[in-house]
Chain A
Amino acid sequence: MTRSLNRLALGLLVLMVALMVQLTRIQVLQRAELNSMPGNQRTLLTEYSRERGPILVDRAPIAESVSTDDDLQYLREYAAGPMFASATGFYSIVYGATGLEKAENPVLSGEDPRLFVDRMQQLFGGRQIKGGAVTTTLDAAAQRAAWDGLKGKVGSVVAIEPSTGRILAQVQSPSFDPNGLSSHNSKEVNAYYRSLEDDEDKPLLNRPIAKTNPPGSTFKVVTAAAALESGRFEPDSILPGPQTYTLPGSSVELPNWTGTECGPDGRVTLAEALAISCNTAFAWLGNELGADALRDQAEKFGFEESFETPLRAATSRFPADPDPAQTAMSAIGQFDVRATTLQMAMVSAAIGNGGVTMRPGIVDQTAAPDLKPLETFRPRDFAQAMSPQNAAKLTAMLVGVVNGGTGSNAKIPGVEVAGKTGTAETAKNRPAIAWFISFAPASNPRVAVAVAVENAGVSEVSGNQLAAPIARAVMQAVLSG
């Protein structure tokens, strides 16, 4: 029986080895796949059993976890939820996470590899595993000013510190209350989410960074920058500014918003054309410079690039291969030019920053649960968009827009403000988008702002009427802080 016993021993051993192989498959090889299966409550329960780290503005939490006595041990609470929703996003058992809750999840949840040692210490110390903290670059006063300014409107505001690229304000309107989505009552969460989805003003859309709009006349700043950078034009160069501009290759007449000529005899300086937002002069200028020069200039400000702040922003676009008529329309920010509010704030900031475009960022610092910093914001150049000399010339021109042109509502007593209005048509008879971009103080700016109000009227004055006051309030909030 020796031989058959040996065989039996081998057979039973094979069975045990098969079990070990299978166990390795499910516990090691298929682990990630099983853990990420929809409907796996364990992943969720583990996540909620930890105290998730807070998201801070000026050391005050705008999102924090508080302990509860239900199965999910911690509830995410948002102080002033809707005001900061564009930055925080939400953290939901039903719909997952968005915004910083998603982008900084490794730190907030404590899963970040850099937190490994902390995690081990907590585990062996028998303490609950905690997540790390994320401090934003947001300025509470600027955020509030933007939030108050957008009240009752559909639109968005982004404010940037020009020298660093730090995002000081990022507000959407309408917004949502992330508390309604972080509730542990999934029925309530579902109902609230559905009501948000059904809202035609799309409160879940992160307008400041995720929605692109035609930038309208604010894009003339980019065209003016290209003109100065070409070396062929100076602020006092004379441009033709007739009552209408016939789009090349067609019989379509592009009018000025005033309906009149831009200067005596239809001739106007570049600075004056910008100050009064002369369409015909900029349309002509666009074809003088050519689409490639416009696109190059736009790209140096950040168009055609996707930025992660770490929130992923939509890519702003300049049309690929426009004909002369389309180039003329693109030069005044129409046709297929599309920009996020963040992008136009970057244009404004770069000019104020001596022509250097900075990469935008919204995270000031991430820290371990014991508040030891993990990573601190570091300003990073994106491109030299203009020479410092040309940036100074353009700044002076933009000061002229506010002091003697279309942007009068952005004036701040005692502070020189540079700005540009815009009104973009999206379609005939649809409400236009009122824009305002600005920075202040003009000589050494501490803040650059872009405001887009989407349900505006159809007149060029709406940029000044609707958007400029919001920009002014945001700038004032930063400057007085």
Chain B
Amino acid sequence: MINSLEDRAQCEISLTVNGERKTVLAFPLERLLDVLRRQLRLTGTKEGCGEGECGSCSVLMDGTLVNSCLVPILQAEGASIVTIEGLAAGKRLHILQEAFLECGGAQCGICTPGMILAAVHLLSKKSEAALEQIQDGLSGNLCRCTGYVQIFEAVAKAACGTTTSSS
């Protein structure tokens, strides 16, 4: 039954974030980005443009890369979300985090979490991605500092499995 007074109320949304089951109370059109940052205090996910152009709010939703600024929280009901905070295993960094550190793939840092999640998504589909595929895979993530070269190098390094942490 659709009752407008009732439906304009907040609703309970259950989802898994970085492996943990969470239940949040939110308005259904609230952006996944805001729920992550404000309610769950996962501020690693950054807001850049807020309109799906820059990729800095990228997270994985059921293994798929999405811009969390464009996902209404209702559509994340039951989903499994991975943010930058969910990549490291304890103190051991993810191979891509390691590679970004080694190659100098981060400068001001705003794009970095999204960049790394886009790279995780890419390598989950194409574990040995070549440069052209890396460029395509990261083409929705903008960086205004590095000029991309070190970022591509970092992903290529992780793709070849030649970072320190993988040895």
Question: Do A and B assemble together?
Answer: no
Partner-A contacts on B (CB < 8 A): none
